[in-house]
Amino acid sequence: MENVKMIIDGVEITARKNMTVLEAALENGIYIPNLCYHPDLKPVGICRLCMVEINGKRLDVACKTPVEQGMQIRTENPEISKIRKIAAELLIINHPASCLSCSENMKCELQKIANYVGVDQAHIDRLKKGVKELPVDDSNPFFVYDPNRCILCGICIRTCDDVVGVGNFEFAYRGYDEMVSTFGSRPLLESRCVSCGECVVRCPVSALKPKSPVVPSREVKTICPYCGVGCGIILGVRGDKIVSSEGDRDNPVNRGRLCVKGRFGHEFVNHPDRLVTPLIKKSGQFIEASWEEALNLIAEKFSHYSGEQFAALSSAKCTNEDNYVLQKFTRAVMHTNTIDHCARLCHAPSVAGLAQSFGSGAMTNSIGEIAEAKCIFAIGTNTTSAHPVLAYEVKEAVRRGAKLIVANPKRIDLCEYADIFLQQRPGTDVALLMGMMRVIIDERLHDIDFISKRCDNFEEFSQSLKEFDLDTVEKVTRVKKEIIVEAAITYATHKPGMLLYAMGITQHTHGTDNVLATSNIALLTGNVGKPSTGVNPLRGQNNVQGACDMGALPNVYPGYQRVNIPQINQKFEKAWECTLSMEVGLTHTEIFDAILDGKVKVLYQMGENPALSEANAGHALKAIDKLEFFVAQDIFLTETAQHANVVLPAASFAEKDGTFTNTERRVQRVRKVIKPVGQAKPDWQIVCEIARRMKKPGFDFKHPSQIMEEISSLTPSYGGMTYDRLEVKGLQWPCPSVTHEGTPILHSEFFATITGKGKFMPLNYRPSFELPDDEYPLLLTTDRSLYHFHTATMTRKGGLQVLRNRELVEINPDDARVLHLRDGEMVKVISRRGAVKSHIKVSDVAPKGVISMTFHFAESPTNMITSDAIDPVAKIPETKVCAVRIEKV
């Protein structure tokens, strides 16, 4: 960016050409009073406090005046001082709180300005008489709104509109009565507010402020433990307790922004229910044990089993280092490749499908590119609920003029911002996407140059489009053909186009085909390998990308190096000084089948909760109860851990060092913020202690940075990762050497396939495994709540519970009418595998014939009824489609 030179108060400064005078002054340490300005928001110039004299001729607000070469600015003159004083006094007059008695004394921008400008207190006191007291809104569990303090700067309104895209606040009434209010003056808890707290952190006078603020004694930068977006957070600590969480403005992923979970969801760390000591089950009861006793018992028991008798479930919540050590233990100590984790239940088809078409199964582009896209195609992703801060970027792109196409069986929040909404029947994505591709080719909108230079297999693929004529596609998907045509043309003509997807695409018996269809359409339009393009699977959990990268999968070592290739096997045997099995291990779902078949006898589970998360969870629980020995390592005594023989207390994300890899392949530092509660220990340390007791070499790590050294020495894509290099902004893999800067965009020049070209994949449409019939006439699909995470072991431990505390079956009003059901009523949802009770929510979010549930609530364990039919390639169960019926309770 070009620079300009200018003079402010006689001092020559340099500013970037796209700056305003206020930004240039503040960046150069020159204070100009301001209240309605915020660096994240478009300036509005309503407080008039930043008035300056420009080139000796005119007065104007600095926040809206662009810098120019040679510009002369005076920040003070008698006229400016007078204007500022009047502006400040008017604000204070309408602000009934007294600065001296105010709890925000010394923290408030208005007070700072009053001191700077030098207001006349006697004058203010005379004018202040008669100011009315307005009721304070404390309905939200995390923050209060006190309109009496509000100075009408509008920052909260602009934040909610332009940063979060919710539009919850507006100026209500006029003149003397003007105030900031929610739509219809509803209490915050009943309003559209999603409790992200973005307005709270920007309010300059604490009219919006945290409910029980505790000033931290120190702050530590780390990464949010919830979704795969991987936002940077700064945790505030007082004593040994976490008391606050702020967005890290230096983090390139979120640039300071957070969602409700990242900002307010840290209460679980210090929750009294945390596991604080090892537990050993004796006569059906858990008895507290010492580490010595528990670890000796585990080492002794494990030493009686080997190979296919052992299985490990790793964790997408744990660090890369934890996952690396557990997969090494499974392979090197227990001599089996049977280790898997919840990626099997969410993005295994992304790994399998994108590896076939692009040669690499991860998000091709970066979160920061979303806002620059000209078209965003969001298919099978409820982004505002599952990846909220990434959704802020999508909404930003729309504000900048991008076209948004949403394809989702449910009318999700993002539909409000969409140009085109394709409401396909669950499980018909291949038909929808192939139908769109046929339109693109018929309209000659495919990128012939890109296809001929960079792709293979186009002819065979085009042949497979024949069965996808629009009449057939409309019949299968129930989307009108005109809308399919419009979506196809929009995606093909508004470039660059970025395709985002999540579990609406993957959790199907044809999940891999769905992923291949997304890569086909990106290749067809040349939307790969360039900024703001690509196929972008949004990974669910904080470190599900990392757990896959670390080889917590039954077929690959770290870095997706296959276990059944002799040279790879030998490389790891040499490094780990052991013999390793070349037999591919069992997947998540297969592990439970093998337990029931008597093959797997011992399970070591680190941080998973299959009792709630596994499809057809009753089957998984039956298997768990058949185990000869079951060790559960977790931060809480989860529904699954209750079935264990030994429970080990693990340190939470805030109590250990390590790294997480977010959805855009960015490896980021996780830092120890407080010491582990009770006797809890980091997962990697526990695994190492078991291995050492089993007298196995290679587990003498003293710090996770040493584990990362071993990871980078054996994993080409992590070759350049060291803790020093990850310190500030992390690095995106592939990063093969210590001089490599990381890779924000994959496949820029070559695909990672054998030929170096992207591969078109011919596809057929296959219906879902279990469709509605006379006995089970409704289709159940699953979704997530913004306020909870996975099986809610962490999010049901604090204020998030106030925002959502129970399961709600979303049902269309037509279906509710036929079944004589009223909103809020308790029902039983029954499938071929079982039944669960839940309240219902009647709304048109779900289309007729489809109901939707989350899987967060143990009282309504949705996965007791979901289908465990699996995709034959990725082995993911079809949790997005099964047949059910509803009965009144």
Interface positions with ligand SF4 (CB under 6 A): 150-156, 159-160, 164, 166, 168-169, 180, 193-199, 203, 205, 207-208, 224, 226-227, 229-231, 254, 258-259, 261-262, 387-389
* Sequence-distant contacts of 99-106: CB under 8 A, at least 24 apart: 102/149, 104/149, 104/205, 104/206, 104/209
- In sequence order, what E strands does 478-551 have? 497-501, 535-537
Reduced to 3 states (helix: H, G, I; strand: E, B; else coil), residue 674 is coil
Q: How many CA atoms lie within 13 A of 309 on its CB side?
A: 12
Contact 339, 585 (CB under 8 A): yes
- Tell the smallest beta-carbon distance from residue 735 to ligand SF4 (Å): 21
Residue 649 host element (H or E)? strand 646-649
Considering the complex, state which of residue 230 and residue 361 has its C-beta at the smaller distance from ligand SF4. Answer: 230
- In sequence order, what E strands does 737-880 have? 758-759, 778-782, 808-811, 826-831, 834-842, 850-853
- Tell the smallest beta-carbon distance from residue 718 to ligand SF4 (Å): 21
Distances (CA, A) of 762 to 379, 396, 434, 459, 470: 20, 35, 10, 9, 18
- Tell the smallest beta-carbon distance from residue 622 to ligand SF4 (Å): 33
Give the residue closest to ligand SF4 by C-beta.
262
Dihedral sign of CA atoms 592, 593, 594, 596 in order: positive
- Tell the smallest beta-carbon distance from residue 230 to ligand SF4 (Å): 6
Considering the complex, state which of residue 264 and residue 329 has its C-beta at the smaller distance from ligand SF4. Answer: 264
Considering the complex, state which of residue 131 and residue 819 has its C-beta at the smaller distance from ligand SF4. Answer: 131
Structure tokens at 283: 């006569």
Considering the complex, state which of residue 224 and residue 318 has its C-beta at the smaller distance from ligand SF4. Answer: 224
Considering the complex, state which of residue 168 and residue 309 has its C-beta at the smaller distance from ligand SF4. Answer: 168
- Tell the smallest beta-carbon distance from residue 729 to ligand SF4 (Å): 16
Dihedral sign of CA atoms 739, 742, 743, 744 in order: negative
Dihedral sign of CA atoms 105, 110, 115, 118 in order: negative
Considering the complex, state which of residue 149 and residue 757 has its C-beta at the smaller distance from ligand SF4. Answer: 149
Contact 337, 535 (CB under 8 A): no
- Tell the smallest beta-carbon distance from residue 183 to ligand SF4 (Å): 11
- Give residue 108's identity as a one-letter amino acid code: C
- Tell the smallest beta-carbon distance from residue 583 to ligand SF4 (Å): 37
- Tell the smallest beta-carbon distance from residue 864 to ligand SF4 (Å): 26
Structure tokens at 302: 């494990």
Q: What is the DSSP letter of 159?
A: I
Dihedral sign of CA atoms 316, 321, 327, 330 in order: negative
Considering the complex, state which of residue 150 and residue 594 has its C-beta at the smaller distance from ligand SF4. Answer: 150
Structure tokens at 8: 């402010």
Residue 240 host element (H or E)? none
Considering the complex, state which of residue 776 and residue 855 has its C-beta at the smaller distance from ligand SF4. Answer: 855
Considering the complex, state which of residue 262 and residue 427 has its C-beta at the smaller distance from ligand SF4. Answer: 262
- Tell the smallest beta-carbon distance from residue 170 to ligand SF4 (Å): 11
Bridge partners (DSSP) listed for residue 602: 310, 629
Considering the complex, state which of residue 389 and residue 500 has its C-beta at the smaller distance from ligand SF4. Answer: 389
Neighbours of 815 (CB within 10 A): 20
Reduced to 3 states (helix: H, G, I; strand: E, B; else coil), residue 776 is coil
- Tell the smallest beta-carbon distance from residue 441 to ligand SF4 (Å): 37
Considering the complex, state which of residue 106 and residue 122 has its C-beta at the smaller distance from ligand SF4. Answer: 106
Distances (CA, A) of 139 to 56, 146, 187, 395, 446: 51, 11, 6, 27, 53
- Tell the smallest beta-carbon distance from residue 351 to ligand SF4 (Å): 21
Strand bridging mode 143-145 / 72-74: unpaired
CA 399 to chain CA mean position, Å: 22
Considering the complex, state which of residue 662 and residue 862 has its C-beta at the smaller distance from ligand SF4. Answer: 662
Considering the complex, state which of residue 170 and residue 593 has its C-beta at the smaller distance from ligand SF4. Answer: 170
- In sequence order, what E strands does 124-176 have? 143-145, 169-172
- Tell the smallest beta-carbon distance from residue 171 to ligand SF4 (Å): 8
- Tell the smallest beta-carbon distance from residue 157 to ligand SF4 (Å): 7
Distances (CA, A) of 225 to 264, 347, 539, 635, 653: 12, 18, 13, 13, 7
- Tell the smallest beta-carbon distance from residue 607 to ligand SF4 (Å): 17
- Give residue 263's identity as a one-letter amino acid code: R
Distance CA 375, CA 592 (A): 43
Considering the complex, state which of residue 229 and residue 586 has its C-beta at the smaller distance from ligand SF4. Answer: 229
Distance CA 355, CA 359 (A): 4
- Tell the smallest beta-carbon distance from residue 169 to ligand SF4 (Å): 5
Considering the complex, state which of residue 201 and residue 816 has its C-beta at the smaller distance from ligand SF4. Answer: 201
- Tell the smallest beta-carbon distance from residue 173 to ligand SF4 (Å): 14
Reduced to 3 states (helix: H, G, I; strand: E, B; else coil), residue 491 is helix
Considering the complex, state which of residue 226 and residue 358 has its C-beta at the smaller distance from ligand SF4. Answer: 226
CA 28 to chain CA mean position, Å: 36
